[in-house]
């Protein structure tokens, strides 16, 4: 039995401050640009004010990209365009600044952190700060075996909680959350299908690098078989992550929930982060109030998960590369919303409206005539 009680998160997580949001809405109505004319930027600014409990909203000054990495045994079935066990190559590209996410993060001036949870490689080949939270080497093949033991799932979940605490304690004021994995979208599809009560074909997409029809059919079969193993454990979210998730997904779920506890907003990237968020919602129903959907990746499981959480993507550019790249594109939009909410001047009230410059001169002229 696990010593971790996920029910505690229900009591620990509060909604963003509703009173502050109403104050932010009232301030927005007084600004010189008509309310609603900035579209979703109005709503984003008010959401940020509530999350920060501050009016006017503070600028986003210390964002951070956090990427959880792992290999999934189900990739052995050729359900991914990448060979099984090669996620470490993607991690090295990120660390060397040669991936889309690394390029965008560098251009935007956002620090990027990679957390290895279950890469299928020797840990000595990666920096110590990347591998220090690793739970195991690769996750199990979820169509025929558990991804993790319950103890490993708990360790991964606690690692995610610890990373969230580290970020909050260091002053991070918004996180862009993503994954680096091979086979991760298959595990994510299983979680979404299980929690939404849908069939495998409804949630199975073509992954970050689009697979052909034969690979898609293999992926559907893997999701179907894993879904049969997931349904009996739906009542226990940690056991669900152990059965059909993976160390990286368990860690992301812990990270999301603890971020909500610490009142640290998170922008979700693609289907993997959306699936973990859906598990988090099942644990604590108020948690999604702290998350934004950065983009629509086109994965059907992501759309299903976001719809269940009532989260509308900020962007729809079809970015499927993963690694938080799509969510990073949404970051300037969120920063712009904060700047507009804080810096747009308010319309002067009638009581404080200045007198016309010639009014005083007119009165002075009349006075001179009377004197004469």
323 annotated active-site: yes
Distance CA 310, CA 293 (A): 10
Using alpha carbons, select from 63, 76, 91 the residue that is nearest to residue 248. 91
How far apart are alpha carbons 77 and 82 in whole angstroms? 11
| Under 8 Å between Cβ of 209 and 111 | no
Distance CA 111, CA 84 (A): 29
**Bridge partners of 65?**
112, 176
* Residues 261, 9: Cα–Cα separation, whole Å: 7
Instruction: Map residue 196 onto helix, strand or coil.
Output: helix
Q: Which residues contact 84 (CB under 8 A, 6 or more apart)?
A: 71, 73, 75, 76, 120, 182, 183
Rama region for 324: left / alpha / beta (φ>0; ψ in -120 to 50; rest): left
Report the candidate in 324, 293, 269, 274 with the shortest Cα–Cα distance to residue 101.
324
Helix (H) / strand (E) element for 253: namely helix 247-261
30-45 per-residue burial string, b: 16 or more CB within 10 A, e: under 16: ebeeeeeebeebbbbb
Burial class of residue 124, CB neighbours in 10 A (0-12, 13-18, 19+): exposed
**Which tokens is 171 given?**
């002053």
Closest C-alpha among 242, 54, 81 to residue 156: 242
What three-state secondary structure class fits 297?
A: coil
User: Of 46, 154, 167, 323, which one is the catalytic site residue?
Assistant: 323
CB-based contacts of 46, cutoff 8 Å, min separation 6 = 21, 24, 25, 28, 341
Q: Give catalytic residues, as residue numbers.
A: 323
């Amino acid at each position: 039995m696990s010593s971790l009680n996920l029910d505690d998160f229900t009591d620990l997580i509060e909604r963003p401050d509703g009173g502050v949001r109403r104050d932010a809405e009232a301030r927005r109505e007084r600004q010189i640009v008509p309310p609603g004319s900035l579209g979703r930027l109005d709503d984003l600014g008010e959401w940020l004010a509530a999350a920060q409990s501050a009016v006017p909203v503070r600028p986003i000054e210390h964002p951070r990209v956090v990427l959880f990495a792992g290999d999934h045994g189900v990739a052995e079935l050729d359900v991914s365009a990448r060979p099984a066990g090669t996620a470490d190559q993607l991690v090295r590209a990120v660390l060397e600044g040669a991936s889309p996410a690394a390029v965008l993060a560098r251009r935007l001036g956002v620090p990027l952190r990679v957390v290895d949870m279950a890469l299928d490689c020797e840990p000595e080949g990666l920096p110590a700060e990347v591998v220090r939270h690793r739970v195991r080497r690769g996750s199990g093949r979820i169509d025929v075996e558990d991804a993790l033991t319950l103890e490993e799932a708990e360790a991964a979940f606690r690692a995610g909680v610890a990373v969230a605490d580290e970020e909050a304690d260091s002053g991070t004021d918004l996180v862009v959350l993503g994954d680096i994995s091979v086979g991760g979208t298959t595990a994510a599809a299983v979680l979404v299908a299980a929690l939404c009560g849908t069939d495998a074909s409804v949630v199975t997409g073509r992954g970050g690098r689009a697979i052909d029809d034969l690979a898609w059919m293999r992926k559907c079969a893997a999701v179907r078989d894993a879904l049969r193993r997931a349904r009996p454990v739906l009542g226990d979210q940690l056991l669900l992550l152990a059965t059909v998730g993976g160390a990286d997904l368990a860690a992301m779920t812990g990270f999301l929930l603890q971020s909500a506890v610490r009142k640290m907003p998170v922008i979700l990237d693609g289907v993997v982060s959306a699936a973990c968020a859906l598990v988090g919602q099942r644990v604590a129903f108020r948690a999604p109030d702290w998350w934004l959907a950065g983009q629509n990746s086109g994965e059907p499981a992501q759309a299903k998960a976001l719809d269940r959480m009532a989260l509308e993507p900020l962007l729809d550019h079809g970015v499927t590369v993963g690694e938080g790249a799509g969510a990073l594109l949404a970051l300037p939009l969120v920063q712009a919303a904060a700047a507009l909410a804080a810096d747009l001047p308010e319309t002067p009230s009638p009581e404080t409206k200045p007198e016309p410059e010639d009014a005083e001169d007119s009165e002075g002229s009349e006075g001179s005539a009377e004197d004469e």
